[in-house]
Structure 1
Amino acid sequence: MIYPVFSMVLLTLVVGIIAFFTRVNSVKARKVNPKAYKLMDAESFPESVIKTTRCFNNQFEVPVLFYVGCLFYVALNVSSVVGLYFAWAFVLLRAMHAYIHITYNHLLHRIIVFWLAVFMVLGLWITLMLNMA
């Protein structure tokens, strides 16, 4: 389980770096006054800043369920190939979600990938519970 978790951490860091450079570039291009970042005055932000910021924030929502589930697999020494497949599927879907969100941001595509990832976390947890019985 450690490799999918590490991959999610890397994904989060990559999205964070993209969000950071998007913000820096918005200031350099004089699209955003640097003071706007003090209180995150979103009304003055270009779409690229809003998308990358929201995508980064989103990495700390549903993925928390993934991290906790994986931690239980490791802490309880549960070995499950099915659980591992759910974990990797979640990471892949979250990477797809981030890509969609940051690039073309098609809402239907994003929602489908988002909910598929949620179901992977559910599968991860159900598999954990079944392995505990």
Structure 2
Amino acid sequence: MTIQAALLPLFVQVGLTFALMIWMGRMRVGAIRAGELQIRDMALGERVWPARAQQASNAYHNQFELPVLFYVLTVLAIVSQKDDILFVILAWIFVITRLVHAWVHCTSNRVPLRMKVFVVGAVLLMVMWIIYALRILLAF
């Protein structure tokens, strides 16, 4: 497998993170400009943001939780040359679950649906880690 094929899902995940950061920034600046809060109100925490701005913030911050394990695994798989076609396919499926999760988070924010998509991605990532660990520990 080429390094580009293994890194492309990671690049898409990074792109999603930056897109959510920009959306969060726009929502926050919009809230301040609309007079929904003062800058001093948010100096000590994020709970003061209006619901839509907080929703954007939550979606953005979520990208620094489960995806961190994906980033580490991708780098390890490339370095150890375990980034085969199975890894790339599973990586794409994981990133698709993250895209869907972010979409739900940023639109309807239906928690039961968001949770189902999250669980699918989490289980998939766990399977990826198990496969990787077995390949390293059993040397295949």
Q: TM-score, normalised by structure 1?
A: 0.93
Contact 1:86 1:123 in 2 (8 A): no
Q: Where do 5+ consecutive residues of structure 2 fail to align?
A: 1-5
Q: TM-score, normalised by structure 2?
A: 0.89
Aligned residues: 132
Q: Which AA in structure 2 matches 1:106? A: R
**1:38 alignment partner, one of 39, 43, 53:** 43
Please give the root-mean-square deviation of Cα atoms over the aligned residues, in Å.
Answer: 1.2
In structure 2, what is the Cα distance between the partners aligned to 1:16 and 1:64?
Answer: 16
Q: Where do 5+ consecutive residues of structure 1 fail to align?
A: none
Contact 1:11 1:95 in 2 (8 A): yes
What's the counterpart of residue 57 of structure 1?
61
Q: Identity over aligned residues, as a percent?
A: 28
**2:8 alignment partner, one of 3, 16, 19:** 3
How far did residue 41 of structure 1 move? 4.5
Q: Does 1:68 align with 2:72?
A: yes
What's the counterpart of residue 105 of structure 1?
109
| 4+ residue runs over 4 A deviation | none
User: Secondary structure of 1:117's match?
Assistant: helix
What's the counterpart of residue 16 of structure 1?
21
Q: Which whole-Å deviations, capped at 9, do the CAs of 1:1-39 have from their partners, x for residues lacking one?
A: 211111111010001110010000001111121222322
